[in-house]
Structure 1
Amino acid sequence: MHPQCPIARNTAALAAALALAVPVHAAERALDKSVVVNATLDQAWQAWTTREGIVSFFAPDARVEARPGGPFEIYIDPGGAPGMKGADDMRVLAVQPKQLLSFEWNAPPHLPEARQQRTVVILRFEPVTDTSTRVRLHHVGWGDGGQWDQAYAYFDRAWGNVLANLQKRFDSGPVDWTAWLQQLEQMRAAAKPK
C-alpha cells in the first residue's frame, strides 16, 4: 500500500495505538549454558541422575532419584548443618529419560532471603556423535533486585564451573573431593568458640 492511502495511515495509527495500550514485558530472565562432553548419551545422563555421577563432578555427596518428586539434593558441604549443606530438600520436577531432567534449585546459604525461594533448572541432553553429548542448562524463575540479583550473578559463574567440571570428569577422570572436604573441616574447626 502507498503511505498516503487512508487504509495505510489508519493501519499505522492503529498499530501505534495498540503498542501504547498493550504492556510490553521483558523476556524472562534466564541463565543458559551449554557444553559438549566426551561421553555417550548414557554416560552424560548417568552423571546427572545418580549419586555416583554427581559425586564424579558436581559435589562430594548427593541424594538423587531421577523420578518426578524424587530428591535432587546436592551436598556441597556434606558436614554442614541440616539445611546448610547445599541444595537441601530440592526435588526432581520432570524426567524424559536421556532427554530432559528438571529440578528445583535454591540460592547458596550466604543469600538467605533468596535461599527461601525456589528456581527451576532444566537440563537437555543431545547426542552429538556416538561418543559425545551436548548438555544444555536453562535456569529460570528469578526474582528482581537485592539478593535475587546476587544469586543470579553467583549462578552465572557457578553453572559455568559445574559444566566445566563435567567436561573435565570425562576428559581426565572424576573429581577428588579430599582437599575440599579437609578445607571445610578446617573452616568449621576455626569457627568453633574456644
Structure 2
Amino acid sequence: MKTISNEVGITNTIIIHVPLSLVWHAWTISERVSLWFAPETIIEAKEGGAFELYFVPGNRTGMNTRGCKVIKLVDQEELQFTWKGPDQFEEVMNKEEELTSVKVNLGAIDEGSTKVIIEHTGFKNEDRWAEAIKWHQTAWSGVLSSLKSALEKGEGELCCQPN
C-alpha cells in the first residue's frame, strides 16, 4: 500500500549555546516569549493551554495567533501548538478546523548547548499555499535567529532560571 500526502512541511534547525532549560523557558513562559518572538503573548504551558502571540501591541484582531493552543508538551523536550499565519494568508491557512501546527523539539548537546528543531506541518501542496510556505520558511529562520541572539547575549530575564 502506498500513501500519498498532500501536505508540505518546513523544518528549521539551530544550535543555541545556552543550557536546554533556558531555551525551554524561553518558549514556555509568556513573559520570556515576549522578549524575543512577539511583544505580547499569552502562553499557558500545558496541553490545551493558549499559545497566542500578538505581533502588533494592542491589536487583538490582526497579526496574531489568537485561539491557538498547545497540542503537546513534554517537559524540556517537545512543545507542539496550532498556528495561524499572518493576515495576508488568512483565507488560505487560518480556518479553525484546518490550522497548521508547529512542533519545537529540544535536545541538549552538552551542558551549555541546545539543539532546537522546528517542524511546521499542515501546509497544503497547492498553488494558493506556495506564498504562505515561502513566507514561513523565511519567518522561522528569523524566529530562530532572534531566539539564539536573545539567549546568547546572556542578559536580562532570559539568562536566568525562573523563580
TM-score, with length taken from structure 1: 0.73
Tell me which moved more, 71-80 or 24-33: 24-33
Question: For residues 129 and 44 of structure 1, do their structure 2 counterparts lie closer, same or farther at Cα, with a shift above 3 Å needed?
Answer: same
Q: Does 1:130 align with 2:111?
A: yes
Across the aligned residues of Structure 1 and Structure 2, the Cα RMSD in angstroms comes to 2.0
> Partner letter of residue 53 of structure 2?
I
Q: Does 1:79 align with 2:79?
A: no
8 Å contact from structure 1 (residues 51, 63) kept in 2 = yes
Matches within 5 A, 1:63-74: 63-74=42-53
- Aligned-residue identity in percent: 26
Q: Quote how far apart the aligned CAs of 1:83 are.
A: 3.2
> Partner letter of residue 110 of structure 1?
Q
- Residue number in structure 2 paired with 1:3: none
Q: Spell out structure 1 runs of 4+ moving beyond 6 A.
A: none
SS in 2 for 1:138: strand
Q: Deviations over 1:153-181 (max 9, x none)?
A: 11000000000001101222679xxxxxx
Q: 2:17 aligns with which of 28, 38, 41?
A: 38
Question: For residues 89 and 27 of structure 1, do their structure 2 counterparts lie closer, same or farther at Cα, with a shift above 3 Å needed?
Answer: closer
Counterpart CA distance in 2 for 1:135 and 1:75 is 23
Q: Does 1:58 align with 2:9?
A: no
Query: What are structure 2's unaligned runs of at least 5 residues?
Result: 157-163
Matches within 5 A, 1:7-46: 25=4, 28-46=7-25
Question: For residues 53 and 147 of structure 1, do their structure 2 counterparts lie closer, same or farther at Cα, with a shift above 3 Å needed?
Answer: farther
Q: Quote how far apart the aligned CAs of 1:27 are.
A: 7.7
Counterpart CA distance in 1 for 2:155 and 2:102 is 23
SS in 2 for 1:139: strand
Between Structure 1 and Structure 2, how many residues are aligned?
153
